[in-house]
Chain A
Amino acid sequence: MMAWCLRALLSHWWRNPVQLFAYLAGLALATALWSGVQAINSEARASYDAAAKTLGEGQYDLLIPKQGNRIPQDVYVLLRKSGWLVSPVIDARINDVRLLGIDLVTSATGLPNLAKGPSAITYDTLLANEETALKISMLANVTVDTSIAPGIAIGDIGLVQRMLKRDDLTRLILLPNQPITQPSLGMVAPNLRVQSAHAVTNVTELTGSFHLNLTAFGLLSFVVGLFIVNSTIGLAFEQRRGMIRTIRSLGVPMRTLITLITVEMMTLAVIGAGFGIILGYFIAAFLLPDVAATLRGLYGAQISGTLELRASWWVSGMVLALIGTAVALSSRIWQIVQMPLLASAKPRAWVVATGSRFRLQLIIAITLLFSTVPLAMTLEGLLAGFILLGCLLIGAALALPPLLGGLLTLVQKYTVAPVWEWFWADTRQQLPGLSLALIALLLAVSANIGVSTMVSSFRQTFIAFLDQRLAPELFVEVETANQSAALEMFLMNRQIEVLPLLTTQVVIADLPVDLYGIRVGQTYRNNWIFLDNTLNAWDAIERGKAVVVNEQFARRADLWVGSLVQVSRDLMLPIAGVVGDYGNPQGQVIITERIFKDLYPNLYASNFGVRTKDASQLRSQIVNTLGIKNNAIINQVGIKALSLEVFERTFVVTSALNVLTLGVASFAILMSLLTLADLRVPQLAPVWALGLTRRRLAWLELLRAVLLAGIVFVCAIPMGLALAWILLTIINVEAFGWQLPMYLFPL
């Protein structure tokens, strides 16, 4: 009996292959983007973990130079001979690989947790993962160790120094259990300072919001996919009512029937989700290089370029797909249980029944949409931003079918021609079947508009920002105090405006910040645009009476214009201006050169901005006269191009996901129309019999689809802009620490 019963149930799919395809494809699409995004996230997370383990960052305090990033090796030996237990590290890039040189003998307790144990490091061999090993195999012997974080090669400090042709160090790890007596650090190594382990910015924390964004996209597409699944299941059940009635009348118990239907649908769901996971893997593999580039560009986080099949993401995709199917299924099964044996499917009755559902939907939608206003004003934090987004999207989604229904009724009322009256009435009748697909389209289109608006706003702001910030034509980096003084003298003698930049890392308001000393001049006054400032801000800064901070600092410390900032132990200055600082995770406090030199007399300016009309000539003069290396001078044009490139790559992923979601939604529409087509034959037959040609009918069908899509697009515009507003003013601030002005797309 069971077998025959199952055959009867399955025969439905053989007769409606399009429906079967829609069901499987809906599930596959829902699972694909979700598991693809999860795959990317888990890959990134694994990379962060590996990096934390490889670098041992955040575990120990460090000694780092107050100026620059080099520590003479003599200073290391002197520290050790003074009773400071430190272990040397050299850290530099070569061939796009971060090369880390450590001394195993002294770093015994601060060792990276390498899978094969420290024994794998030898005097003349580097350790790296496979991908990284390929990049540096021509420079040194490399042993492949998969536990090493991507993009990093570790080796003995001597080997790394030889490879880099350097004889100095980058930082010293301050080991635990220092001896009972030791001279103060200032006496032994006055040019070094302690960087607390907690002050190191945590990559996982920094990138958390980025991954949350990806997850949100995955979830959106999952929901859209589930809409397809839900409507297909609904349709299949509607069409099988007759069959179910027959099977029941033949004496199959309800329990057996429900079990069989559940097994049937869930088996198909597993197949669909399985396809989805395979698809998701390819999507992830396709997007991963861009995600990696984005994370590197925005946060300096290195993630692996190759994808591993981790249970965490594919299991989560499968489970979620099955839960989604089960939820959709349960309501239908409930209907079967409730169904009187002799009732049959009546599309018109269905519409009437949905009428009351529409009213309820509208009430919920209005409640949700209205609740966004107080939510936006009161809630804070990334999660709140997403709750707000959720309210907006679900509210709009729920409101769409009743609004469309209302609109159609209204239009029908003012139509006199019988064909058109039929057309509107027929469209209304189709609405319940199409509404889920239309909602999916609405969500996808508004997400598209919202994200495009965000990206274009970001783009415009960023380009203007680059013009502002990169006003000097040349940027010169010097290595020594003598070079610094000589360069300044050289440029001053030629009456060239020079902008020295002094910098050091400090802790202000319990936050690690970059403290800058600048020479306030015309360039700053003309080019820098404040987000907020006091009157005559630059004058106050020039006189040493105020500071400028970047937006990231202002937000994190919640210190704005007028607030006092503890610049050093004895110096408290008010904030005169807050500047936008896009694409930088670090907080900044900017003071005038004079105050900086008073606070840090030993530091010299190692970076200079130079204003000149003839950049290439001045460049060669600096190289020839002062012996500054050519690659230490960077052209403004070069920096701008590089910055823009980083920026463009940042949003490749977003737009790719955008296109994919839109694709899924369009597919949902197509599938709904296709599955409805069968059902509509009885509806169309009388009209055809009354004399409407097939050609005319086809045109009317097409017109209906275009019309519905058009209305959805119109509704999606305000939705998309509202979405963009939430993304820019709430999500972005939480995720990146800065706010962007909104430029309306596509104006």
Chain B
Amino acid sequence: MNVKILFFIIIWPFSVVAQGFSDLGSRADGFANPELNPTFNFPTDHGAHPEYRIEWWYLTANLNGSDGTSYGLQWTLFRTGLRPGEGPGWQSPQVWFAHAAVTTPGQHFATERFARGGIGQAGVEATPFRAWIDEWVLEGEDFQKMTLTANGPNFGYDMSLQANGPLVFHGDNGYSVKSEQGQASYYYSQPFFKIDGTLKLPTGNIEVEGNAWLDHEWSSQPLSDDQSGLGLVLVIVCGWCKVDGFSTTPKRWITLQLFDLDLT
């Protein structure tokens, strides 16, 4: 992890808009807030919601090679809005970042990407579904059958996904409460993907298959005052991380295994 990038992402959005992330715990100015009893409208809701402050699509997979070796894979695309809505070209207030990783029994490969919204470098479209940043793409005719790619300086992968179960809605039908003060998000998952494809590692290509879980969550004020704002930023910056549980208890609302956070 490049410390400069970390610094930059933490600092930058704070000052870009007077109400930056420092304000995350309070009511979001101009941003929409998740409401109780949501009605999801698919496939549109698979796409981006720029009227909300933050949003992510993250996919984790447990894989096995033909020789039985276990591998882990992760692909995450984050969106953060400096202001609600869209703008023309570079004036778009949306910033995108992504993190991809592969773990082998002995090694960990990770890389990240950054992009501004509005110019076509990154985005998420609902029909047909396409989430992309640079050449990294998660796409398919619908949310059932998709392909996934990512590349880094020393690894990459090309995967295919096939859903074999329904979407799962977290919390109260997809309205997921984060704290007792009422902070909440919209949150659903597709935990039943069959996944297979090729991991491109320095040692060579490895054919793998396994199971994957895709989360899609968006919100505008996910933390209460007694929750750490920096914690969220770190999640966003260092990205993944493997989310394997969820707790609504303050300060433990996400269980993180931060990958290469190197602040020295």
Q: At the interface, yes or no: A493 with Cβ under 8 Å from chain B?
A: no
Q: Is the CB of A119 within 8 A of B2?
A: no
Given contacts A104-B8, A109-B2, A179-B153, contact A80 B15 (CB under 8 A): no
User: CA–CA, A157 to B11, complex, Å?
Assistant: 19
Q: At the interface, yes or no: B247 with Cβ under 8 Å from chain A?
A: no
Q: At the interface, yes or no: A130 with Cβ under 8 Å from chain B?
A: no
Given contacts A77-B119, A104-B12, contact A83 B90 (CB under 8 A): no
Which single member of B12, B89, B114, B115 contacts A119 (CB below 8 Å)? B12
Which residues in window 1-22 of B have CB below 8 A to A? Answer: 2, 4-5, 7-9, 11-12, 14-16
Question: How many residues of B are in contact with the other chain, CB < 8 A?
Answer: 33
User: CA–CA, A157 to B114, complex, Å?
Assistant: 15
Given contacts A80-B121, A83-B134, A158-B91, contact A105 B114 (CB under 8 A): yes
**Chain B residue contacts of A178, Cβ below 8 A:** 153
Q: At the interface, yes or no: A118 with Cβ under 8 Å from chain B?
A: yes
The contact size tier of chain A is 20 to 34
User: CA–CA, A120 to B15, complex, Å?
Assistant: 8
Which single member of A118, A156, A177, A181 contacts B8 (CB below 8 Å)? A118
Q: Is the CB of A158 within 8 A of B135?
A: no
Nearest opposing residue in chain A for B158, CB measure = A181
User: CA–CA, A85 to B113, complex, Å?
Assistant: 9
Q: Is the CB of B135 within 8 A of A179?
A: yes
Q: At the interface, yes or no: A683 with Cβ under 8 Å from chain B?
A: no
Please encode chain A, from 62 to 85, with 1 for each CB lying within 8 Å of some chain B CB and 0 for all others: 000000000001001100111101
A189 to chain B, nearest CB (A): 14
Q: At the interface, yes or no: B132 with Cβ under 8 Å from chain A?
A: yes
Nearest opposing residue in chain A for B202, CB measure = A180
Nearest opposing residue in chain A for B151, CB measure = A179
Q: At the interface, yes or no: B152 with Cβ under 8 Å from chain A?
A: yes
User: CA–CA, A285 to B2, complex, Å?
Assistant: 43
Q: At the interface, yes or no: B200 with Cβ under 8 Å from chain A?
A: yes
Q: Is the CB of A158 within 8 A of B89?
A: yes
**Chain A residue contacts of B90, Cβ below 8 A:** 103, 156-159, 161
Q: Is the CB of A108 within 8 A of B91?
A: no
Q: At the interface, yes or no: B156 with Cβ under 8 Å from chain A?
A: yes
Q: At the interface, yes or no: B214 with Cβ under 8 Å from chain A?
A: no
Q: Is the CB of B114 within 8 A of A81?
A: no
Q: At the interface, yes or no: A638 with Cβ under 8 Å from chain B?
A: no
Q: Is the CB of B16 within 8 A of A81?
A: no
Please encode chain B, from 40 to 52, with 1 for each CB lying within 8 Å of some chain A CB and 0 for all others: 0000000000000
Given contacts A109-B2, A109-B4, contact A117 B121 (CB under 8 A): no
User: CA–CA, A82 to B136, complex, Å?
Assistant: 9
Which single member of B5, B82, B134 contacts A80 (CB below 8 Å)? B134
Q: At the interface, yes or no: A422 with Cβ under 8 Å from chain B?
A: no
Q: Is the CB of B115 within 8 A of A106?
A: yes
User: CA–CA, A77 to B122, complex, Å?
Assistant: 9
Please encode chain A, from 505 to 530, with 1 for each CB lying within 8 Å of some chain B CB and 0 for all others: 00000000000000000000000000
Given contacts A103-B116, A179-B151, A180-B156, contact A108 B121 (CB under 8 A): no
The 29 listed contacts between A and B (C-beta, < 8 Å) are A81-B120, A81-B132, A83-B135, A103-B116, A104-B8, A104-B12, A105-B95, A106-B116, A108-B2, A108-B4, A108-B9, A109-B2, A109-B4, A109-B5, A111-B4, A119-B11, A120-B15, A123-B16, A161-B89, A177-B111, A177-B152, A179-B152, A180-B151, A180-B152, A180-B154, A180-B200, A181-B151, A181-B156, A182-B151
* Closest 4 pairs between A and B when the two form their complex, measured CB to CB: A158-B90, A179-B151, A83-B135, A177-B153
Given contacts A103-B90, A177-B152, 19 further A-B contacts (CB under 8 A): A76-B119, A76-B121, A77-B120, A83-B135, A83-B151, A105-B95, A105-B116, A108-B2, A109-B4, A111-B8, A117-B7, A117-B11, A119-B12, A119-B14, A156-B90, A158-B89, A161-B89, A182-B135, A182-B151
